A and B are shown apart, each in its own frame.
Chain A
Amino acid sequence: MSDVENFVVLTLVKSAPLIFAALAGVICERAGILNIALEGALAAAAFGAVAATYATGSPLLGIVAGMLCGALVCGALGVAATRFGVDQIVAGTGLNVVAVAAAAFGVAVVWGAAGVSPEVPSLGNVGQTVLIVVALALALGVHLVLERTPFGLRLRACGENPRAVRSAGIDPRRMRVIATLIAGAIAGLGGVYLSLAELSLYSDGMTAGRGFIALAAVIFGRWTPLGACAAAIAFGALSALQFSLQRAGVPSELMQALPYLAALLALAGIAGRARAPAADGVPF
C-alpha cells in the first residue's frame, strides 16, 4: 500500500471508536442530556465485551454484552437525571468513577489479576472492518433518524424545548431516558471495538480519554451527527499522523492535546459561533 492509503486506513482505524462515542454524545445532547459519562460507558463496554467473550467463547455475544454495558451506564445517567433529580454533571462524574472502578474490580475478581485480562477470541480483521463500516453507516443513520423521522423531531424537541414536548402529550423524561439507552448501546460498540477489534483483551485505562475526545468532537461538529463524525475522523487523522510527526520532532503530548485544545477554541467561538441545543444539560 502507498503511504496515502496507509494513512487513510490508519485514520479510519483510529476514528471508529471516536465516531461511536461522538454519535452517542450527539444523541444525548440533542435530547437535552449533557453526557460526560461516555468515558465510563466505553470502559464498561470494553470490559463487558471481554468478560462475556471469556465466559462464552463467542465474541459475538461479547458485542451484545458490550452494548448492554454501554446502555447501562448511559441509561443510569438518563434515569438519575430525569427521575431522581440528580444534576447531569454530578451524575456523569459519578458514573465515570463507578464504571472505571467497576471494570478494574471486575478484572481483579474474574481473573484474579490486577489491571489486565487474558487474551480472548477477538473479532479479527474482518470484524474490525465491519465495525468501521458500521460506524460510518451509523453516522448517516443517526442523521436521517434525527432529521427525517417524527421520532427524531421529538427527540430534538426535548433538547430545545421540553415544555412544548409535554404540551404535545409526549413525556420528555421518557424520551430522554430512551435517548440515553440508544446512545449507550452505540457508545458500547466503541468500547467493543477497542477491546475486541483493535485488541483482544481488556486493560485498565485502555479507553485513554476517548470519551472526552468524543465530547470535543460533538462541539466541533456543532451537535450534528455528520459534523461530529467528521470531527472524529479529523481527530483520528491526528493520531494516525502522530508517529510520523513525532519522528519529525513534534512532541507527542502536543499531538495528543490537539483535540482538547480544539474543543477549547470551539468553546471560544473560533470557527464560527457554536450553539448548543437550548435545553442541553437543563433538567426537566
Chain B
Amino acid sequence: MKGAAIAFAALVAIAAGAMALAGANPIDGFAALFRGGFGEPHVPYDDHRIAETLVQTTALLFPALAVAFAFRAGLFNIGAEGQLIVGGLAAGIVGARLAAPGFVIILATLAVGALGGGAWAAIAGVLRARFGGNEVIATLMLNIIAGLLANYLIVGPLHSPGVEGAETAVLPADAWLPTLLPGTRLTIALPIALALAVAMRWFFARSVLGYELRAAGDAPEAARRAGIDLGRVALVAMTVSGAIAGIGGATIVDGVLHRFNVALSPGYGFIAIAVALVGRLDPLRIVVAAFVFGILQSGSLTMEAAANVPKDVVTLVEGLAILALAAQQYVARRGAAAA
C-alpha cells in the first residue's frame, strides 16, 4: 500500500509539474479536472457531468475487463482497441440496416458486436494456438487492420447514402439503449458492464474453465502436465476477451453515438490496459479503477477549457500510470519474497 501511495503521489506531482509547465496554476488545473468529473459544486442538479463521467467509465470498463480476461490466462491482448472497433462496426452496420422492433435491434447489435470482436481476437488466438505465433504482435497488427477495414467498408461498399464522413447512418431512435438519467448519454450499458464484472469474478473464482485459464496463466508448464490444453486455452481466452471488448464497442454505437464512426474510440483499448493493471486484474477493483479513469477522461476536457491545460496531460499521466503501477507491483512482490 505504501508503494502504491508513493506511485500515486509521484503521478500527481508530475501532473502538477506539467500543468505549471503549460503556464497554468496546478490547483486551478486539478480543481477544473474534478469539477469536470463530478459537476459544479454550487449547481444543485448538475447531473450531467457525473453522467458523462459514468459514460466514460463504461466505455473503459468493457475493454479493461477484456484485457484482464486474457491477462489472467497469461495472454497479452493488446488488441482491445481493434476488437472494440470491429464490434462497433458490426453493430453499426446491422443496427442501421435491420428493420425490426427496437429491442430486437438492440439485442442483435450487442450479439454481432460480441461476435465481431470475438472473431477478430480469435485470429490472434488461432495464430497462437496453431502456430505458436506471438499474440502481442498479432493483436498489434490487427488493431491497425481493424481501423483500415472499418474505413474501407464505411466509406466504400457499405456506404450509407446521404451520410457524409466515415460513419454509418443513425440508428432508429427506438433502437438506442435506454438512458438511466433523462437528458444524458448514461445508458443501461453501465449495469450491463457491472453485471459482466460480477460474472467474470464468479467465472475465475468458481468455474472449472476459469480455473483452467488461471492455471494456464500462472504456471503454463504445470498446467500442460496436468492435462490442460494450452492451445484451447489461448483460443478460448482470446475469443471471450475480444467478445467483451466487442460488446463495449456495440454499446458506444447503441448508447452514445447512435451510429458507428471510425473515430469512435479515443484509444479506450489502450487506456484499458492501465485500468486493468490499476485494478490488478480483479474485476471488482477494475470497476473502481475505471471510475477513476472515467473522472480523468471527462474532467480533462473541462480542464483544457477552464484552466487552459492541454488535455494531453491526462493521457501522459495515464501512460505513466501503466509504468509506475507495474514497477510498484514488482517491488511489492520482491519485498514480500524477501520478508
Contact = CB atoms under 8 A, between A and B. Distances in A.
Interface of A: 34, 36, 76, 80, 84-87, 89-91, 93-102, 104-105, 108-109, 114, 209, 212, 215-216, 219, 251, 253-254, 256-257, 260-261, 263-264, 267-269, 276, 281
23 contacts: A36-B140, A85-B327, A86-B327, A89-B76, A89-B136, A90-B323, A94-B319, A97-B267, A97-B270, A97-B316, A97-B318, A97-B322, A98-B319, A98-B323, A100-B315, A105-B316, A209-B144, A212-B141, A261-B141, A261-B145, A263-B137, A268-B127, A269-B131
Contact of A264 (B138, B152, B312, B319): B138
A86 B332 CA distance: 12
Contacts of B151: 253
A264 B141 contact: yes
Contacts of A215: 137, 140
A276 to B, nearest CB: 7
B133 A268 contact: yes
A205 B216 CA distance: 38
Given A251-B156, A254-B152, A257-B149, 16 more contacts: A89-B76, A95-B319, A95-B323, A97-B322, A98-B320, A100-B315, A101-B315, A101-B318, A104-B312, A108-B312, A109-B22, A254-B148, A263-B137, A264-B127, A264-B138, A267-B131
Contact of A86 (B140, B273, B274, B326): B326
Given A256-B148, A257-B145, A268-B133, A86 B330 contact: yes
B273 A102 contact: no
Contact of A212 (B140, B148, B152): B140
B330 A85 contact: yes
A89 B316 CA distance: 18
Contacts of B18: 105
A70 B313 CA distance: 21
A34 B22 contact: no
Nearest to A98: B319
B225 interface: no
A27 B152 CA distance: 35
Interface residues of B, number: 48
Among B134, B136, B137, B331, chain A packs the most CB atoms within 10 A around the CB of: B137
Contact of A267 (B133, B316, B318): B133
Contact of B123 (A104, A212, A264): A264
Nearest to A39: B140
B21 interface: yes
A84 B327 contact: yes
B329 to A, nearest CB: 9
B277 interface: yes
A94 B313 contact: no
B131 A101 contact: no
A216 to B, nearest CB: 7
B310 interface: yes
Among B131, B152, B326, chain A packs the most CB atoms within 10 A around the CB of: B326
Given A101-B312, A108-B312, A251-B152, A90 B137 contact: no
Nearest to B140: A212
A212 B144 contact: yes
Given A105-B18, A251-B156, A94 B131 contact: no
Contact of B322 (A76, A90, A261, A263): A90
B136 to A, nearest CB: 5
B328 to A, nearest CB: 9
A253 B140 contact: no
A91 B127 CA distance: 24
B330 A93 contact: no
A267 B138 contact: yes
A93 B316 contact: no
Contacts of B144: 209, 212, 257, 260
Interface string B296-339: 00000000000000101101101111110011001101100000
Among B144, B149, B151, B315, chain A packs the most CB atoms within 10 A around the CB of: B144
A80 B323 contact: yes
A225 to B, nearest CB: 19
B78 interface: yes
Nearest to B143: A212
A34 B23 CA distance: 38
Contact of B131 (A96, A254, A268, A276): A268
Contacts of A114: 310
Contacts of A257: 144-145, 148-149
B67 to A, nearest CB: 10
